Amino acid sequence: MDARSVVVTGMGALTAIGNNLPAYWEGLKAGVSGAGPITRFDASRFRTRFACELKGFDIGQHMNVKEARRMDPFSHYAIVAADEAIADAGLNFDRLDRNRVGVVVGSGIGGLLTFQEEIGGYFKGDGTPRFSPFFIPKMIIDIAPGHISMKYGLHGPNYSCVSACATSSNCIIDAFLLIQNGLADVVICGGAEAAITEGGVGGFNAAKALSERNDSPQTASRPFDADRDGFVLGEGAGILVLEAYEHAQRRGARLYAQLKGIGMSADAHHITAPHPEGLGASLVMQNVLQHAGLPPEAVDYINVHGTSTPLGDIAETKAIKQVFGDHAYRLSISSTKSMIGHLLGAAGAVEAIACILALQHQTIPPTINHFTADPECDLDYTFNQAVERPVRAAISNTFGFGGHNTSLLFQQIDA
* 58 contact partners, CB below 8 Å, separation of at least 6: none
The model's pLDDT over 67-125, given as tens digits with 9 standing for 90+, comes to: 999 999 999 999 999 999 999 999 999 999 999 999 999 999 999 999 999 999 999 98
- Residue 162: per-residue pLDDT: 97
Residues labelled catalytic: 165, 305, 342
**Res 125: pLDDT:** 85
Task: Give residue 414's pLDDT.
Answer: 72
- Length, in residues, of the chain: 415
Farthest CA pair distance, the chain = 66
Find, among 291, 150, 147, 174, the residue nearest to 242 by Cα: 174
The dihedral built from the CA positions of residue 223, 190, 208 and 407, taken in this order, carries a sign that is negative
Q: b/e for 32-49, b at 16 or more Cβ within 10 A?
A: bbbbeebebeebeebebe
Cα–Cα separations (whole angstroms), residue 275 to 284, 386, 395: 13, 30, 20
**Which residue type occupies 235?**
E
* Interval 256-292: pLDDT, tens: 999 999 999 999 999 989 999 999 999 999 999 999 9
Beta bridge partners of residue 394, listed in sequence order: 301, 410
210-268 per-position pLDDT tens digit: 999 999 999 999 999 999 999 999 999 999 999 999 999 999 999 999 999 999 999 99
CB-based contacts of 63, cutoff 8 Å, min separation 6 = 76, 79
DSSP 3-state assignment of 361?
A: helix
Asked if 264 and 348 touch (Cβ cutoff 8 Å), the reply is no
Q: Above 60 in pLDDT, residue 415?
A: no
The predicted model scores a pTM of 0.98
- Which residues face 138 on adjacent strands? none
What are the beta bridge partners of residue 303?
334, 396
pLDDT digits (tens, 9 = 90+) for 333-345: 999 999 999 999 9
Rounded Cα distance between 3 and 252, Å, is 14
* Share of residues in the chain with pLDDT > 70 (%): 100
Cα distance between residue 153 and residue 160, in whole Å: 18
Question: Could you tell me where the DSSP H helices lie in 110-185?
Answer: 112-124, 135-139, 143-152, 167-180
* Kind plus residue range of the DSSP H or E element containing 188: strand 186-193
Q: What pLDDT, on the 0 to 100 scale, is given for residue 127?
A: 84
The rounded distance, in Å, linking the Cα atoms of 384 and 382 is 7
- Which residue ranges form the domains of the chain, and what is each CATH number? 7-250 (3.40.47.10), 262-411 (3.40.47.10)
> SS3 for 400?
strand
